[in-house]
Structure formats: C-alpha cells, structure tokens
Structure 1
C-alpha cells in the first residue's frame, strides 16, 4: 500500500519506508515530497521536514522537530527538542537538543568533537560554531555570530548579531554590542588583550 506522499506502508504499521532514500518516518510526520531520507535514518512522530531537506544515513530526527527547507543533515546525527531553519548544514555526528557532545570519525580514524547545544537554544542565520563549543539552555544567539573553538556560553544569555568570540572564551552575561570579544569572562577584545599584556608584565616583574 502507498500513502499519498508515496511512502510504502503495511496496514497497521507505525513507521513508513520513505520513497526517496529508503529511510523510515512515522506516519504522523509531515514530510515534503522532495525530502531525501537515507537508509538507516528515521524521522519520529509529528516532525516537519521542509522542501529539499536531506537526512543522512543513521540520523535520528526526534519527535516534533521542525527542519527548514534546503537543510542538509549528515550521517549519524541526532536532533531532538529543536527547530532548524532554512539552508542549514548539520555535519556528521552532531547532537542537538540532548545530553552529550556529538562526534564523528575523520579519515585518519580520529574522533572529532562537535558542538553541544542545549535545550531551548535559538541560533540565528549564518552563524558559525567551531569544535567543542558548548551552549547551555535557553541561550539566544543573533545572526552572523562566530564562536571560536571551545567557547562556552552560560544559560539564559543573549548574544546580539555580528559578534565574534575568540577561542576558549566564556560568555557569562548578555552581549549587547556587536564586535569581537575574548577571555573568561568574555569582554571586548581590546580589553582582553590589555588584560593579557598586564598579566605578562606582572609575571616578568615577579621573575626578575
């Protein structure tokens, strides 16, 4: 038996085999006909996938997840408790909306860490999150924000659009002005550099 969307289903079956790619989806999911769900991927109940979304093999889309059009999701990713916008790229092994860091295995067999994004996080368009970034729950990030490697953002913090954070920075309070920031806690980049210079001079004086 075929559904109106073209998925193959046996009578009484909860999950259907999707026509494009061979993956499976719950019969209550809303899937655009152009979506590709690769073999081994699964889309859970009441999720919504827009036009031209591509879901890689082994990826799990949790219940009630919404994914915007033209978004590409790699293999072995896991998405839950989230809404993903249009034209996003989610790399292999990424975990969104759940405990634990995602990872993938590179060509040399090394396990490479991916960012961790907590619950109720909102991320604007054209943002870049580098390796081992950690974002706690209920954070709001504007558009065109860049988080360098191992940047940490505490819960319930807002970051305005067009902010760049240096690697290993920690955001402990709202950032309300665009610009470059660094340090722990994160401050404007020129302040952070001045702090580093003062520390270096103090260290040299103590040694002398």
Structure 2
C-alpha cells in the first residue's frame, strides 16, 4: 500500500529520518505502551479508595471522547521522541568520547535517557553539535526526579513566555543555545509537575 505523499512531506519537513511505514509502526508501538484507549480509573481502586478519592475531588469517571485528541498528541509526541533519540554509541560518537562515558553521564544525571528494550535511548534535544546543550547539567539537576523523558523533552522544546529572545518567546533549548542564563531555565524546570 502506498503511503500518502502528505505524510512523507510532513516527516521530511520535521527532519525525521524515518519512512511513513516506520513512523506509523512507532506510533502504534507508542499507543500500546501508553494508557489503554478507554481506561476506567475507578477499576484501579477498591470501593473505599474510590470513595476517599472522589471525596477529595478526583474524577474517576471513564475515559471520554474529548480525551482522544490529547491521547493522540501524546502518542505522536512519544513516537517522535523515540524516533529522534540516539543510542549510547551514537551519542559517544557525536561527543567524541567512549561509550562508558555516556553511561556514566546517564548514571550521574548529566544526560537524560530511558531504557528501550534493554538499550539506552537519549533524546536528541540535549545535544548541540559535538557537545551537549550549554547549561544542560544544571537544568537536569533542577528537574524533579519523577518527571519522565517525554515531559522534559516537551518542556525543553516548547516556547516559554518567560524566556524572551529579542522580545519573542523561545524554547529553553533555543534560549540556552543563544547564550541565555541557565538559571532562568532551571527555575522553570524545577516547577515541572507542580500545579500552575
């Protein structure tokens, strides 16, 4: 079956080095790894727990059609993050170091990554040329430990109103690449996962 030329164009413009078939496989894989399509939150708790949770204002109602768009965005973001991530060997080659140095940096929290089928994957946003993003170590130290790679990637690649370059909001990654003060990004990164 021939894939849509529109999808090929979108993937090319996004700089993703993947065929449409491979991209759709990544999306399907991401969808399987994330929450089931129609979760029933109440089913995870006994009756006493359900009552206690609803008493404090939590909504345990079933998944609704309005949630589909958000889930679709998350699945696609996860697929793109996974596709654009590099292996330990690729990161070592880019940084011109031994693979053991990359694993050490991961263990020390100086690089971010996740295990995928037993092998490390490192999101590409944290690299810049033959080095790492300026201020990366400070930013990663500020990110709360419970924040997954997808959340950190989303933060680092989404425009922030508090980070202005020539009066225009920019992403934390662009801010750091432009020589912006890493402390501005660390202050924002420390707030990840906290209510607005």
Q: TM-score range with shorter-chain normalisation?
A: under 0.3
Alignment TM-score, normalising by the size of structure 2: 0.24
Alignment TM-score, normalising by the size of structure 1: 0.23
Structure with higher Rg: it is 1
Structure showing the higher helix proportion among its residues: 2
